[in-house]
Amino acid sequence: MNFAILAFPASNCELDAYYAITDVFGEEAALVSYDSESLIDFDAVIVPGGFSYGDYLRSGAIARFAPIIPALREFADSGKPVIGICNGFQILTEAGLLPGTLQKNTVAQFVCRDQKLIVTNNQTPFSDLYDDQEVITLPIAHGDGNYYCDDKTLKSLKENNQIVFKYQNNPNGSLSDIAGITNQQGNVLGMMPHPERAVEKILGSDDGVKIFTAMINFVKEREVAFNE
């Protein structure tokens, strides 16, 4: 299968994602520029972390106007998997692909450390290899990771089981300890922690492996279903 890894001006985690997909998982991947207008040849999309457009205005706010975003919306609407990591999560909320917003950390500083998470929904194309309520460790590195939404949206997230990951010992003030959510269809995931930096034990944790393996399995199962 073939992953598209989007690259915006000042994003800085696309090569981490590229290495994980190609070297660790042995799948094909390509860096796709923000000024491209098609994702037609790809099976999955990673919107990586960094500081797209220097985080001017607010994180992800300018990236949502990039030429690639309409193609990303079309890709997500087709049911194929999209994962937005850190700044990628921020871009997905700004682009309206996920509800809510990411605000400045309540600790008023950049937080960079390994972080324990709880898998609160293991029935998604990204999390179905984890046990329910499994505790995993992934690195975080963000200054604007404080997830917020209004009461109506939070109620909807809970009712539709869209909250996939929660923090233990919330590091940034996120509402309801939210670390990662999906859209209602379940094929778009946004998360602040970095699974692409936790795919080999030598990095300190390989707890991110199951996220990408689950995505790969999901795509291959879809292909089989379409060909039957």
pLDDT at 228 exceeding the cut of 70: no
User: What are the residue ranges spanned by the domains of the chain?
Assistant: 2-227
Q: What is the mean pLDDT of residues 38-59?
A: 95
Per the annotation, the verdict on 142 as an active-site residue is no
Predicted confidence band of residue 227 (pLDDT cuts 50, 70, 90): confident
**Whether this model's pTM surpasses 0.75:** yes
**Cα–Cα distance measured from residue 125 to residue 179, given in angstroms and rounded to the nearest whole number:** 17
Give me the CATH topology for the region 2-227.
Rossmann fold (3.40.50)
Cβ(95)–Cβ(69) below 8 Å: yes
Q: What are 65-91's pLDDT values in tens digits? A: 999 999 999 999 999 999 999 999 999
Q: Are strands 146-148 and 28-33 parallel, antiparallel or unpaired?
A: unpaired
Per the annotation, the verdict on 194 as an active-site residue is yes
- Predicted pLDDT of residue 105: 97
Q: Any residues with CB less than 8 A from the CB of 223 and at least 6 apart, and which?
A: none
**Burial annotation 110-119 (CB, 10 A radius, 16+ → b, else e):** eeeeebbbbb
Count Cβ atoms within 10 A of the Cβ of residue 24 and give its class: 0-12 exposed, 13-18 middle, 19 or more buried: middle
Predicted confidence band of residue 108 (pLDDT cuts 50, 70, 90): confident
Per the annotation, the verdict on 149 as an active-site residue is no
Residue of 14, 27, 94, 196 marked active site:
196
Residue of 13, 14, 27, 86 marked active site:
86
Sign, Cα dihedral of 19, 210, 121, 139: negative
